[in-house]
Amino acid sequence: MMLGGINPAILIASLMVAAVPIMFAAIGELVAEKAGVLNLGVEGMMIIGAICGLVAAVQSGSPLLGFLAAALAGAALSLVFAVLTQVFLANQVATGLALTLFGLGLSSLIGQGYVGVKPPPTPRLDIPLLSDIPGLGPMLFRHDIWVYLSIAAVAAVWAALRYSRPGLVLRAVGENHDAAHALGYRVTRVRFLAILFGGAMAGLGGAYLSLVRVPQWADGITAGAGWIALAIVVFASWKPWRVLIGAYLFGGISVLQLNLQAAGARIPVEYLAMSPYVITIIVLVFISAGRGGRGANAPAALGRNFHAAR
C-alpha cells in the first residue's frame, strides 16, 4: 500500500536503520549523565568511531572488527575527557566541546585516503519464520544484527539502572557524589567507567554510519547526530525507554524527508533537509516548557566536578 507515493513498510524499515546510530550514542550518553557527567563530545567520539571502524573493516575485511575498533576508538577518546575532567577537574562543558572539535579534525586527517572507499558489507540477519511473514517480515525482521543490538542495549541499560547494585551506585553518584563518597563508593572510578561506556557506544553509533547506513567515508559523516543524541537524552528525561522512542522519532523524520524528496514533494529541498533538526528543537522547547520542565528530572550532580578532599 502506498501513501502519497511513500511505502509505509519501507518507511518503517528505514527508520529502524536510521535510528541505530543515535540510539547507541544516546544510551551511552544517558549512562554518563546518570553518573553526573555532562560530555558534549559525543559528536567527536561518533566521528572517530566512524573513521576508525571503516579503516579497520577495510584493512581486515571484517565488519565485526570494524565495529570493535570503533568502540575502542570512541572509548579511547572518552578516556581523554575522563582524565581531564575527573583527574584534573577541567570544566566539563568546555572539555566536551574541545573533544568534538578534536574528533572532527582528527577524523578528517585519518580519512583523507579513504574517501569513497566501500567497506565490506555487513550481512543481514534473516530471522527464520518471522522474516517470511507478509508485510511484517521485511519491515521488522530483515535487518542487520546491530538494529536489534541497539534495542537490546536500551533494555540492558534500563534493567541495569533499575535492578542492579552497580546501577544503583551509578545513580547515587549522579544524584549526590559527596553522599556517595561518604558511603564508601568510589565516585571517580564509577564516573570513569560510565564515561568509557558512553564513548564506546558513541563509537559504535559512528561505525554504523560508515559501515552500514552510508556506507563509505565522507568528512562530517555524522552530520550533527551526536548533538541530536544529546538532545534525545533530555527529551527522554534521562529514562532509557524514552531514548528508544526519541531515536525512532528522529529516525522517522529523517527518513520521511528523504522519501518526500523522492516522491517529488513540492517543498524546497533545503526545508526538508533541515526539518529533522527544527522539529527536534521544537520538541525540546515544548517538553521543557511548563512547571519545572523535564530538566527537573536531571541528575542533581550533573556537570559538577567531584573532589574527595572537599
Q: Nearest CA to 277 among 235, 228, 229? A: 228
How many other CB atoms are there within 10 angstroms of residue 210's CB atom? 33
Amino acid at 135: G
What is the third-level CATH fold of 8-297? ABC transporter involved in vitamin B12 uptake, BtuC (1.10.3470)
Q: Give every residue of the chain whose pLDDT is below 70, as ranges.
A: 1-6, 259, 261-267, 269, 271-272, 283-284, 286-296, 309-310
Indicate the domain borders of the chain.
8-297
Alpha-carbon gap, residue 45 to 206, rounded angstroms: 8
pLDDT of 146: 96
The string of DSSP codes covering 80-115 is HHHIIIIIS---HHHHHHHHHHHHHHHHHHHGGG-B
pLDDT of 291: 45
- Cα-Cα-Cα-Cα dihedral of 17, 19, 24, 30, to 10°? -170
pLDDT of 108: 95
- Three cell numbers, residue 229: 543524541
